[in-house]
Amino acid sequence: MAEILSLSKARKAKARASKERTAAENRIKFGRTKAERQLEKAQETLEARRIDAHLRTPDGSEG
C-alpha cells in the first residue's frame, strides 16, 4: 500500500530544498573574504594588461 502524504507538506519541503540550494550557490558566489576578492581583482587586472599589451593599434603600427 502506498504511503499517504500531505501535498502541502510535500510542496513546502520542495520549496525549502530549493531555497537551500539557492542559498548554497549564493554562499559560494558571494561568501568570499576581502583578500580573496582583492586577489581575484589583481589577477583580472594583470590578465587585461597582458592582453592589452598584445593589441595592435588602429593605425597599423605596433606599440
Per-residue pLDDT tens digits for 8-31: 999 999 999 999 999 999 988 888
Residue 6 neighbours by CB distance under 10 Å: 9
Alpha helices of 31-59 — where are they, by DSSP H? 34-53
**Does residue 38 carry a pLDDT above 90?**
yes
| pLDDT band at 61; cut points 50, 70, 90 | low
Stated as kind and residue range, the H or E segment containing 23 is: helix 7-30
Measured CA to CA, the distance from residue 49 to residue 55 in angstroms comes to: 10
Q: What is the pLDDT of residue 21?
A: 97
Amino acid at 23: A
Percent of the chain with pLDDT over 70: 89
What local confidence, expressed as pLDDT, does residue 6 receive? Answer: 92
